[in-house]
Structure 1
Amino acid sequence: HTGEKHGPNILPRELVKALQQQIPNSTIVETNTLYQGDRYTTEEHLETLKVNGWTFCPVDIMDAEGTVNLPVRHGKHFKEVSMGKNIVNYDSMLVLTHFKGHAMGGFGGSMKNLAIGCADGRIGKAQVHGVDKDNLPADWNVWPGKELLMENMAESAKATIDFFGKHIVYINVLRRMSVDCDCAGLSAEEPTIPDIGILASTDILAIDQASVDLVYAKESNHDLVERMESRHGLHQLTAMRELKMGNDKYELIELD
């Protein structure tokens, strides 16, 4: 998530740059947004990337030239989800996620990053949000949310996970955890919970479950926990478990 212009909470560019340089021939991938912001069109998106400093490596806006449908195995809402066409050009993916709150999802971890981040901006993101792409309600508060949104996101993420198979890994960065997503840009609420650290895993359910558990373990977690629970965000974990996307039992191994 490269964020809206000048977003105060997006991942530090130098952190991402240092990691990216350790991965030969790697590219940052994005898709355009469903809402009309700084990344709504490819042209606006390219300008926002420059403003935010994502200029140190190639960046592929995967839906700039079209879409592709990826199948959802055993989905109850979707048989396939529309993704940015260029996703099929890659043989592996590192899901580098800024873990934080979210206005509709409750929280944004690895699963939401995949579910929304790979879906294309006009068709796929509308599918996942359960809205008509040609007749979007102006007030997102009336969009379907809660359990349906969490289940739709899980199925969208599963399509990408199934495509890459064992060639996908996850990193959640638990810093500057506002109750708002980086899509909120400068209007994002100031974080009230301290930074926690960085998690890595090959299991998407384990890493998001561990991230949530670490937030709940913090005493000053009220704002973020309220955001998760009021949006039914914990159903993200239930939906992944029901789709057998990973294991919610994990062991934290600390590295110095």
Structure 2
Amino acid sequence: MTGKVGIKLHTGEPHGPNIIPRPWVKTLIAEKLPKANIVETNTYYQGARYTTAEHRKTLAVNGWDFAPVDIMDEDGTAMLPVKGGKWFTEMSVGSHMLNYDSLLVLTHFKGHTMGGFGGSNKNIGIGCADGRIGKKMIHTGDTGTQWGISKEELMERISESAKATADHFGDHIAYINVLRNMSVSCDCEGTAAQPVVTPNIGILASTDILAADQASVDLVYALPEKYRHDLVERMETRHGLRQLSYMKELGMGCDRYVILDMDHGDTPITLAEAVKNVKPFKA
């Protein structure tokens, strides 16, 4: 993380119950990235984050007032090239993205109504695309009909958009997935999110976007069936795993990885060991 640093996270709909705790982010910025800005974009759907004015009201409601928050499409858009894509040759993002030298992708890993799961790929694939052009490009098929695309095509479009951002920052981008409060619902559903039934697992970090998301998915699958069932069903019924296979096809990273247990030093551990201390929620 060099130069001007942006932290891309999902700041949530008003009073969203499952977003990353603000004190965690506040401490991260204060201790590690004191000059960083939180970065976001407006939404494609109409709601409390559709316009910049409404978005800023929601930021205040949710307590994101301890650091500057840059709504990157507040002043327009910019086009980034998509290398090797089959749906896009370029992607529209918030123009302020070009003001940053480094990007920390701080992701609340959870389910997603359309994407199956929301990891680092979705965080920048949807979250960095601007609210009027980029997000419309991702969600709209060649017929011009909103949402008129297949589930797997949507995963591919999200991934190509994410690749534009990842390629733009090159070696100056890193990924953290926070595997807690994992509802099958995205944080964009706010207080309407489905109840959390999957135990908290932990936090994963990598400089490889595919490794980060693949390991996150694998850790969910490694849970006992009764704890993983709802989230796995959401991933599979939405064809969300296509995000992973398409990221690999695009050369965005590696799906083979080693988990290093930072609680006990740089010690490689297995998936089974990684979840052995996961405690289920009590009713």
Do both share a fold (TM > 0.5)? Answer: yes
Unaligned runs of 5+ in 1: none
- The residue type paired with residue 26 of structure 1 is A
Aligned to 2:161: 156
Tell me if 1:229 matches 2:239.
no
Aligned to 2:200: 195
Aligned to 1:15: 24
- The residue type paired with residue 27 of structure 1 is N
Tell me if 1:3 matches 2:29.
no
Q: How does 1:47-66 map to 2 (within 5 A)?
A: 47-66=57-76
Tell me if 1:103 matches 2:108.
no
Is the CA contact 1:105–1:145 (under 8 Å) kept in the aligned structure 2? Answer: no
Aligned to 1:248: 255
For the residue of structure 1 that corresponds to 2:171, the secondary structure is coil
Give the Cα separation in 2 of the matches to 1:224 and 1:94: 26
Q: Deviation of residue 143 (structure 1)? A: 3.8
Give the Cα separation in 2 of the matches to 1:114 and 1:225: 22
Residues 60-83 of structure 1 show CA distances to partners (whole Å, capped at 9, x for unaligned) of 000011000000011111000000
Q: Deviation of residue 146 (structure 1)? A: 1.2
Residues 123-156 of structure 1 show CA distances to partners (whole Å, capped at 9, x for unaligned) of 0001111258xx765xxxx542411011001110
Aligned to 1:215: 220
Q: Deviation of residue 37 (structure 1)? A: 1.3
Q: How does 1:72-83 map to 2 (within 5 A)?
A: 72-83=82-93
Residues 141-174 of structure 1 show CA distances to partners (whole Å, capped at 9, x for unaligned) of x542411011001110000011100000000000
- The residue type paired with residue 129 of structure 2 is A
Give the Cα separation in 1 of the matches to 2:55 and 2:141: 23
Is the CA contact 1:100–1:108 (under 8 Å) kept in the aligned structure 2? Answer: yes
- Structure 2 length-normalised TM: 0.86
For the residue of structure 2 that corresponds to 1:74, the secondary structure is coil
Is the CA contact 1:81–1:159 (under 8 Å) kept in the aligned structure 2? Answer: yes
Unaligned runs of 5+ in 2: 1-9, 264-283
Is the CA contact 1:32–1:42 (under 8 Å) kept in the aligned structure 2? Answer: yes
For the residue of structure 2 that corresponds to 1:253, the secondary structure is strand
Identify if the C-alpha distance between structure 1 residues 61 and 136 changes in structure 2 by more than 3 Å, giving closer, same or farther: farther
Aligned CA RMSD, in angstroms, stands at 1.1
Q: Deviation of residue 20 (structure 1)? A: 1.4
Give the Cα separation in 1 of the matches to 2:241 and 2:160: 15
For the residue of structure 2 that corresponds to 1:65, the secondary structure is coil
Is the CA contact 1:151–1:239 (under 8 Å) kept in the aligned structure 2? Answer: yes
Q: Which of 144, 153, 165 in structure 1 is aligned with 2:149? A: 144
> Which range is displaced more, 114-123 or 15-24?
15-24
Question: Which of the two has higher C-alpha Rg?
Answer: 2
Identify if the C-alpha distance between structure 1 residues 122 and 194 changes in structure 2 by more than 3 Å, giving closer, same or farther: same
Give the Cα separation in 2 of the matches to 1:24 and 1:75: 36
Q: Deviation of residue 43 (structure 1)? A: 0.3
Is the CA contact 1:102–1:108 (under 8 Å) kept in the aligned structure 2? Answer: yes
Is the CA contact 1:154–1:239 (under 8 Å) kept in the aligned structure 2? Answer: yes
For the residue of structure 2 that corresponds to 1:73, the secondary structure is coil
- The residue type paired with residue 157 of structure 1 is A
For the residue of structure 2 that corresponds to 1:117, the secondary structure is coil
What is the percentage of aligned positions where both structures have the same residue?
65
